[in-house]
């Protein structure tokens, strides 16, 4: 069996596992007496806005990596290949611009998304850590794919991130996390968690 085919099969299994964990999380979120509709809605809005932040903040660096990694790899020794460094720096600058835009357009964002998440006004600034984590992870993910490590990135995104969420839910249900305020603040750092995991591996 070729390496590409084996990775495709393993990646598919990882995605299915992640889907199962996601269903479990959804069950806990929607189970009566656990989270209110507004609290669950806030977590989904966090993810939606963070995804949009990442799309703008990354400034096409994942596409840049996909396109030019072969050139860098063929013409530079590993120690002088600074592609990932520059890609992360450009994305961080892009994220800074997104933060500035997000702060200046706070009322517009809340007006658009606040209907489904009325508590967004109280936790608006906590979206930024999630957006930062997803931005960094997207760049690292593209680089890892260029290194043919798609299985690992799929595991971090599809399984580990959802397991982080599961852990937070369990800690909340068992009252180790005392209130929703702490839960949503910790939830905002989950993408940074998988970004750090992938960065350490690379």
Structure tokens at 169: 């839910």
Structure tokens at 30: 């929607």
Structure tokens at 153: 């990135």
Structure tokens at 106: 């706070």
Whether 176 has a pLDDT exceeding 90, the answer reads yes
Are residues 198 and 144 in contact, defined by beta-carbon separation less than 8 angstroms?
Answer: yes
Burial of residue 73 (CB within 10 Å: 0-12, 13-18, 19+) is: middle
Looking at residue 71, its pLDDT comes to 86
Round to whole Å and give the CA distance between 86 and 92: 10
Q: For the residues 16-20, what does the mean pLDDT come to?
A: 93
Burial of residue 15 (CB within 10 Å: 0-12, 13-18, 19+) is: middle
Half-sphere exposure at residue 152, Cβ-oriented, CA atoms within 13 angstroms: 19
Concatenate the DSSP letters of all residues of 3-31 into one string.
HHHHHHHHHHHHHHHHHHHHHHHHHHHHS
Q: What is the band of 2 on the pLDDT scale with cuts at 50, 70, 90?
A: low
Q: For the residues 179-201, what does the mean pLDDT come to?
A: 95
When the pLDDT of each residue in the chain is averaged and rounded to a whole number, the result is 91
Tell me the pLDDT tens digit for each residue of 48-73: 999 999 999 999 999 999 998 888 88
Burial of residue 131 (CB within 10 Å: 0-12, 13-18, 19+) is: buried
Burial of residue 171 (CB within 10 Å: 0-12, 13-18, 19+) is: middle
Tell me the pLDDT tens digit for each residue of 75-111: 877 777 788 999 999 999 999 999 999 999 999 988 8
Structure tokens at 138: 């997207």
């Amino acid at each position: 069996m070729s390496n590409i085919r084996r990775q495709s099969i393993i990646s598919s299994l990882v995605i299915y596992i992640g889907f199962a964990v996601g269903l479990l999380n959804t069950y806990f979120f929607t189970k009566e007496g656990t989270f209110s509709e507004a609290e669950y809605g806030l977590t989904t809005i966090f993810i939606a806005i963070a995804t949009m932040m990442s799309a703008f903040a990354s400034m096409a660096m994942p596409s840049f990596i996909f396109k030019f990694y072969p050139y860098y790899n063929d013409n530079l020794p590993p120690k002088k290949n600074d592609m990932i460094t520059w890609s992360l720096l450009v994305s961080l600058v892009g994220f800074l611009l997104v933060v500035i835009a997000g702060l200046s357009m706070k009322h517009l964002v809340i007006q658009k998304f606040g209907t489904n998440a009325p508590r967004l006004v109280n936790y608006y600034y906590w979206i930024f850590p999630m957006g930062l984590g997803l931005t960094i992870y997207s760049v690292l993910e593209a680089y890892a794919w260029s290194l043919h490590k798609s299985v690992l990135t799929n595991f971090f995104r599809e399984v580990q991130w959802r397991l982080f969420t599961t852990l937070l839910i369990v800690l909340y249900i068992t009252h180790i996390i005392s209130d929703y305020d702490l839960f949503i603040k910790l939830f905002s750092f989950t993408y940074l968690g998988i970004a750090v995991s992938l960065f350490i591996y690379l």
